[in-house]
Amino acid sequence: MKTRTRFAPSPTGYMHIGNLRTALYEYLIAKSDGGDFILRIEDTDQKRYVEGATDIIYKTLKRVGMNWDEGPDIGGNYGPYVQSERKPLYAEYAHKLVELGGAHYCFCAQKEEGKETDEDTPEAHIKLKDPCKHIPLDEAKARISAGEPFVVRQNINKKGTSIFHDVVYGDIEIDYDELDEGVLLKSDGLPTYNFANVIDDHLMQITHVVRGNEYISSTPKYNLIYEAFGWTPPVYVHVPPVMKDAQHKLSKRNGDASFQDLVAKGYLPEAILNYIALLGWNPGDEREIFSLQELEKCFSSDRLNKSPAIFDITKLTWMNGCYIRNLSAEEFHKLAMSYYADLPQSIDFAALSAVLQPRIDTLAQIPEETAFLAEVPEYANELYLNKKMKTDMDIALKALCLVLPILENTEVWTNENLFETLKSVAMDNMMKNGQILYPVRIALSGKETTPGGATELACVLGKTETLKRVRKAIEKLS
Ligand code: GLU
């Protein structure tokens, strides 16, 4: 049988990092086995519906290269792939389940209308001796025909312990007593998650269900539904949550970054994907940098980890830096360009990109790193004092006065030529290279640390601006 996995996001309007990681593991389980990856939109909780949210799901998956084989936009043999379009199916199966003894019609929930949501209140229904459970089926059907609103509630008739196997957590035992007879079909005819996931996974012939470990405790309920229908349950792969720290889950609601937030902060989608692949999975060796294609080749679910992983932004930033350095100069320049909007047009942007690429870890560092190119920030002359470079204000003034006429007469404005030129100024005047280069760099930037050295900055700024800044620095020091 072909491996079939599905990503089943609810359209919330953003791509949570944990969800994207689940999608990635689903994708990799399918693709490492020549299988199909299916996209299904779980929009039965209409209260949570957000306009445009499905688009964000499509865009994110496409952006990281996780293409789906079947889904709402491209169709497939098991559609529709949006739950709200499958409404009649759920009702049909819910009635069937009642006939099979796996569920019952319940009329009393109507008194607390609005309560039977996906989060169905377990306290209310644990060991609930639902009076409706004892209404003879014929009588219940007659009431439904007469137009009385109803819900379909699951029957938990078994006693003892349910045991099932999970790829990550091994054998899991849960007492049937702990399960609630929750709502499967709501009074509006829409299913709860607890019902829809089983019906859809079965009808779509999903072989491996990958989802957060918060679903472990409900899995025996799903297995009872599979059993009542005489269907085979899928292979379960429950994954631990992505944590912000030892106590807290990473959560968009608490202001933690979503995939889009990270991209907006200058992280490359490929780096984010690589980083989250390793949040809960390891290749069994020391390798850390993987493209999606490489992951497809070496992924195996037996290396999924059951202890929760902490999202470490420092590590992601480091990895993002590796990805930035791996880009070709053209690719980097193209990405960096959109961060140059506030800089003067006289700047040599290609030279700037060449200076930045080896030095930054996220694209969002660009505005801060380059602000001095638009305007030299206020700085104290004490900045010229540098023990290591053996410079002080007097030496700086002397250096800049020596450099100015030479730069004025320099025609070949390249890093190499400028560097040789300034070195010879040092040599001719029995000064150290640093005693020339350091003051020039301060004069051009007004900053102690800069992306690039003196001559690189001169190239980025161009001759006119460089001379202007050197003259201004001389004035300031005089
Ligand atoms: N719609 C569910 C969620 O977003 C999917 C869970 C599952 O994969 O079954 O959490």
pLDDT of residue 282: 95
Regarding the beta carbon of 21 and ligand 1, being less than 6 Å apart is answered no
Q: Is the pLDDT of residue 123 over 90?
A: no
Regarding the beta carbon of 220 and ligand 1, being less than 6 Å apart is answered no
- The torsion angle over the Cα atoms of residues 343, 346, 349 and 350, rounded to 10 degrees, is 180
pLDDT of residue 253: 81
Pocket test for ligand 1, best of 211, 216, 239, 249 (most atoms within 8 A of CB): 211
pLDDT of residue 13: 86
* Catalytic residue list contains 252: yes
Q: Mean pLDDT, to the nearest integer, of 141-166?
A: 96
Q: Do the two domains 4-71+198-241 and 87-193 of this chain adopt the same fold?
A: no
Q: Is the pLDDT of residue 124 over 80?
A: no
pLDDT of residue 252: 80
Task: Kindly give the distance from the C-alpha atom of residue 11 to the centroid of ligand 1, in angstroms, as a whole number.
Answer: 10
The per-residue pLDDT for range 55-106, each reduced to its tens digit, is 999 999 999 999 999 999 999 999 999 999 999 999 999 999 999 999 999 9
β 151-154/183-185 pair status: antiparallel
Regarding the beta carbon of 353 and ligand 1, being less than 6 Å apart is answered no
Tokens of 249: 């889950």
Is CATH 3.40.50.620 what the domain over 4-71+198-241 is classified as, yes or no? yes
pLDDT of residue 231: 98
Regarding the beta carbon of 219 and ligand 1, being less than 6 Å apart is answered no
Distance, CA of 376 to CA of 90 (rounded, Å): 66
Phi, psi of 81 (to 5 degrees): -105, 15
How many other C-beta atoms are found inside a 10 Å radius of the C-beta of residue 140? 19
Regarding the beta carbon of 10 and ligand 1, being less than 6 Å apart is answered yes
Confidence of residue 128 (pLDDT cuts 50, 70, 90): low
Regarding the beta carbon of 238 and ligand 1, being less than 6 Å apart is answered no
Task: Report the nearest atom of ligand 1 relative to the CA of 197.
Answer: 9
Q: Mean pLDDT, to the nearest integer, of 215-236?
A: 98
* Beta partners for residue 175, in sequence order: 161
Classify domain 252-326 at the CATH topology level: Glutamyl-tRNA Synthetase; domain 2 (1.10.1160)
Q: Is the pLDDT of residue 351 over 60?
A: yes
Residue among 221, 252, 297, 472 flagged as catalytic: 252
Distance, CA of 340 to CA of 321 (rounded, Å): 19
| Whether the Cβ atoms of residue 210 and residue 182 lie closer than 8 Å to each other | no
How many other C-beta atoms are found inside a 10 Å radius of the C-beta of residue 313? 16
Task: Kindly give the distance from the C-alpha atom of residue 6 to the centroid of ligand 1, in angstroms, as a whole number.
Answer: 10
From 5-14, 45-54, 318-327, the region with the lowest mean pLDDT: 45-54
What's the half-sphere exposure (Cβ side, CA atoms, 13 Å) at 262? Answer: 28
The top-level CATH class assigned to 331-477 is: mainly alpha
Tokens of 102: 């796996």
Candidates 180, 200, 165; CA nearest to 78 is 200
Helix, coil or strand: residue 232: coil
Instruction: Supply the residue whose CA is at minimum distance from atom 10 of ligand 1.
Output: 9
Tokens of 103: 């569920």
Distance, CA of 468 to CA of 461 (rounded, Å): 10
Confidence of residue 114 (pLDDT cuts 50, 70, 90): very low
How many other C-beta atoms are found inside a 10 Å radius of the C-beta of residue 293? 9
* Beta partners for residue 249, in sequence order: 243
β 161-166/151-154 pair status: unpaired
Average pLDDT over the chain, rounded to an integer: 93
The per-residue pLDDT for range 381-415, each reduced to its tens digit, is 999 999 999 999 999 999 999 999 999 999 999 99
Regarding the beta carbon of 8 and ligand 1, being less than 6 Å apart is answered yes
Task: Report the nearest atom of ligand 1 relative to the CA of 6.
Answer: 8
Percentage of the chain surpassing pLDDT 70?
95
The per-residue pLDDT for range 173-203, each reduced to its tens digit, is 999 999 999 999 999 999 999 999 999 999 9
The per-residue pLDDT for range 445-474, each reduced to its tens digit, is 999 999 999 999 999 999 999 999 999 999
Task: Kindly give the distance from the C-alpha atom of residue 108 to the centroid of ligand 1, in angstroms, as a whole number.
Answer: 28
Percentage of the chain surpassing pLDDT 90?
90
Candidates 40, 66, 63, 68; CA nearest to 259 is 63
Handedness of CA 19, 24, 27, 32 (dihedral sign): negative
The ranges assigned to domains in the chain are 4-71+198-241, 87-193, 252-326, 331-477
Rg (CA), the chain: 32
Distance, CA of 78 to CA of 87 (rounded, Å): 14
Helix, coil or strand: residue 210: strand
Task: Kindly give the distance from the C-alpha atom of residue 15 to the centroid of ligand 1, in angstroms, as a whole number.
Answer: 13
pLDDT of residue 119: 45
Phi, psi of 224 (to 5 degrees): -65, -35
Pocket test for ligand 1, best of 50, 193, 195, 208 (most atoms within 8 A of CB): 193
Angle between helices 269-277 and 17-31 (to 10 degrees): 80
Phi, psi of 177 (to 5 degrees): -60, -25
pLDDT of residue 3: 98
Task: Report the nearest atom of ligand 1 relative to the CA of 19.
Answer: 4
Q: Is the pLDDT of residue 144 over 70?
A: yes
pTM of the model: 0.90
Q: At a CB cut-off of 8 Å and minimum separation 6, what does 153 contact?
A: 103, 104, 105, 106, 109, 125, 130, 132, 133, 181, 182, 183, 184
pLDDT of residue 121: 47
Helix, coil or strand: residue 35: coil
Task: Kindly give the distance from the C-alpha atom of residue 10 to the centroid of ligand 1, in angstroms, as a whole number.
Answer: 7
Confidence of residue 126 (pLDDT cuts 50, 70, 90): very low
pLDDT of residue 408: 98
The per-residue pLDDT for range 303-337, each reduced to its tens digit, is 999 999 999 999 999 999 999 999 999 999 999 99
Regarding the beta carbon of 369 and ligand 1, being less than 6 Å apart is answered no
Task: Report the nearest atom of ligand 1 relative to the CA of 7.
Answer: 8
Q: Is the pLDDT of residue 204 over 70?
A: yes
Task: Kindly give the distance from the C-alpha atom of residue 19 to the centroid of ligand 1, in angstroms, as a whole number.
Answer: 8
Helix, coil or strand: residue 163: strand
Question: What element of type H or E holds 378?
Answer: none
The full DSSP string for 295-314 is HHHH--GGGB-SSPEE--HH
Task: Kindly give the distance from the C-alpha atom of residue 278 to the centroid of ligand 1, in angstroms, as a whole number.
Answer: 21
Q: Is the pLDDT of residue 302 over 60?
A: yes
Confidence of residue 109 (pLDDT cuts 50, 70, 90): low
Instruction: Supply the residue whose CA is at minimum distance from atom 3 of ligand 1.
Output: 9
Q: Is the pLDDT of residue 41 over 90?
A: yes
Which CATH architecture does the domain made up of 87-193 adopt?
Alpha-Beta Complex (3.90)
Q: Mean pLDDT, to the nearest integer, of 13-22?
A: 93
